């Protein structure tokens, strides 16, 4: 029973740490999407400015070319940010899946401890044997969550 309690403590701690990491990643992702939006909006504003400058005729051509270049730079940067955000989103989802595995392991190990407690109170060995299944599955889920997501 003490061994199961120690395993439960590890699963609980790891689950909490991963949930914290997930929140941090989600916050970073939200910040990066806001940054992407700002870059994309700035790109559109520069493109509009280039169009307005080109309406000025030959004297606006140089200014239009400059604004067009700025618009393209902003659009390229926005696309780079978008790609990085998509990768960060996959990392966030993988962290959430790992945290869920630890949560499931925690529940199973808690059930195993309850079964062990009932075995102690009733002196019925069947409850000891019954606690083996949730313990094994809980430990298996906890071990599975330590593996990289590509191995699962």
- For 118, other C-beta atoms within 10 Å of its C-beta total 15
Q: What is the pLDDT of residue 57?
A: 86
> pLDDT tens, 121-151?
999 999 989 999 999 999 999 999 988 765 5
Domain positions in the chain: 2-146
Q: Is the pLDDT of residue 73 over 90?
A: yes
Q: What is the pLDDT of residue 150?
A: 57
Q: What is the pLDDT of residue 68?
A: 95
3-class SS of residue 22: helix
Q: What is the pLDDT of residue 37?
A: 97
The pLDDT-based confidence of 152 (bands split at 50, 70, 90) is low
How much of the chain is in helix, strand and coil states, percent to nearest 5? 90, 0, 10
Q: If 0-12 CB within 10 Å is exposed, 13-18 middle and 19+ buried, where does residue 107 land?
A: middle
Q: What is the pLDDT of residue 151?
A: 57
Average pLDDT over residues 12-24: 95
- pLDDT over 70, % of the chain: 97
Average pLDDT over residues 35-63: 93
């Amino acid at each position: 029973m003490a061994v199961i309690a120690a395993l439960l403590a590890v699963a609980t701690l790891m689950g909490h740490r991963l949930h914290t990491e997930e929140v941090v990643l989600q916050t970073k992702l939200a910040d990066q999407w806001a940054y992407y939006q700002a870059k994309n909006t700035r790109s559109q504003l520069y493109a509009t400015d280039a169009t307005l400058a080109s309406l000025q005729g030959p004297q606006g051509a140089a200014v239009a070319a400059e604004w067009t270049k700025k618009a393209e730079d902003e659009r390229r940067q926005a696309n780079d940010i978008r790609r990085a955000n998509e990768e960060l989103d996959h990392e966030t989802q993988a962290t959430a899946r790992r945290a869920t595995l630890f949560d499931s392991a925690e529940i199973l190990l808690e059930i195993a401890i309850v079964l062990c407690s009932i075995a102690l109170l009733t002196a019925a060995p069947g409850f000891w044997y019954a606690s083996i299944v949730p313990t094994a599955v809980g430990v298996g889920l906890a071990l599975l969550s330590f593996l990289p997501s590509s191995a699962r």
